[in-house]
Every structure is written in structure tokens, then in C-alpha cells.
């Protein structure tokens, strides 16, 4: 595993932020979020009695209006499609901005653009820069 990602996994502040957002989603959607092993390439399975959805959670350190879109790396987008196509369950991208929590269902029809970029301001290592899927903010719904 990349040392840079391992550092994030072990960072208490990052984990606390994810846990706080997870709890909000669970209480809002009345669903339990079970952390997925890293091999799945996605954060959580949404469960009641059975798995009902796949969720990727992102925390952004800026306000929702700063950019016209938000992004995930292309490999996450591809993993969402693989999970969706294989299991026939929906995939969601949930984003916590400084001022608002939002989500969108990822589908084959979600408007998006693929651009070169990624984590440029706080780059951890060379693997943080690459193809990224940019999804317009208008595609997101407030929690």
C-alpha cells in the first residue's frame, strides 16, 4: 500500500472527519455503513438487512461554491461502475464541503468530464496526479 495513503488512514483527524460524516449519512438515510476492505476500492457498503448501495465519502477543505465541479480519480469512477454493473446496486458519491454536505448517484449517464489533475495543492506523492472525473456541482443534492 502507498505510504502516503497509509498515513491518511492512520491520521486521527482524517478518520474522525470520515466517522462524523458517516454517522450523519447513517442517521439521514437510516442505513448502516460498513467499511469495505481496501481491495474493493470504495469506502462503504450501505446495509439494512442486505447490502443496498455502495458509497464513496469525500471531505473537501473548501466551500461548495469555490469550483463548478468536484472530482474523484478515474480509478474510483471505474470501481463505481464495476460495483454497479456486477451487483446491480447503486453507487453514491457523498461529499462534505466546509459549508454543506451533498451526494449524487453515479450512473452511466452522470454528466462528467475527464481531465488531468487530481490532488495538486497537497500532493502526497506522484500518484496523486492523474486522470480525474469532474462532476458538475449541479448534479449533487443536499443532505
Cα–Cα distance for residue pair 136/103, rounded to 1 Å: 12
Residues 4-27, mean pLDDT to the nearest whole number: 77
Tens of pLDDT along 94-132? Answer: 999 999 999 999 999 999 999 997 655 555 555 667 899
Residues 78-107, mean pLDDT to the nearest whole number: 97
CB atoms within 10 A of CB 95: 23
Task: Name the average pLDDT for the chain.
Answer: 89
Residue 140 has pLDDT above 60, yes or no: yes
pLDDT of residue 125: 59
Residues 42-65, mean pLDDT to the nearest whole number: 96
* Helix, strand, coil percentages for the chain (3-state, nearest 5): 35, 35, 30
Beta strands 101-106 and 91-96 are antiparallel
**Residue pointed to by grid coordinates 448534479:** 139
Cα–Cα distance for residue pair 126/112, rounded to 1 Å: 24
Q: Give this prediction's pTM.
A: 0.85
Residues 63-81, mean pLDDT to the nearest whole number: 95
Amino acid at each position: 500500500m502507498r505510504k502516503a495513503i497509509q498515513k491518511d488512514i492512520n491520521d486521527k483527524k482524517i478518520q474522525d472527519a470520515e466517522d462524523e460524516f458517516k454517522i450523519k449519512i447513517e442517521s439521514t438515510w437510516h442505513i448502516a455503513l460498513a467499511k469495505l476492505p481496501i481491495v474493493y476500492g470504495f469506502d462503504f457498503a450501505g446495509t439494512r438487512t442486505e447490502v443496498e448501495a455502495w458509497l464513496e465519502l469525500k471531505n473537501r477543505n473548501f466551500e461548495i461554491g469555490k469550483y463548478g465541479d468536484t472530482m474523484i480519480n478515474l480509478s474510483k469512477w471505474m470501481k463505481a461502475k464495476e460495483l454497479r454493473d456486477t451487483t446491480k446496486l447503486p453507487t453514491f458519491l457523498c461529499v462534505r464541503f466546509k459549508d454543506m454536505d451533498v451526494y449524487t448517484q453515479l450512473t452511466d449517464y452522470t454528466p462528467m468530464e475527464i481531465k488531468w489533475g487530481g490532488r495538486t495543492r497537497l500532493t502526497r506523492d506522484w500518484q496523486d496526479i492523474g486522470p480525474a472525473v469532474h462532476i458538475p456541482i449541479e448534479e449533487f443534492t443536499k443532505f
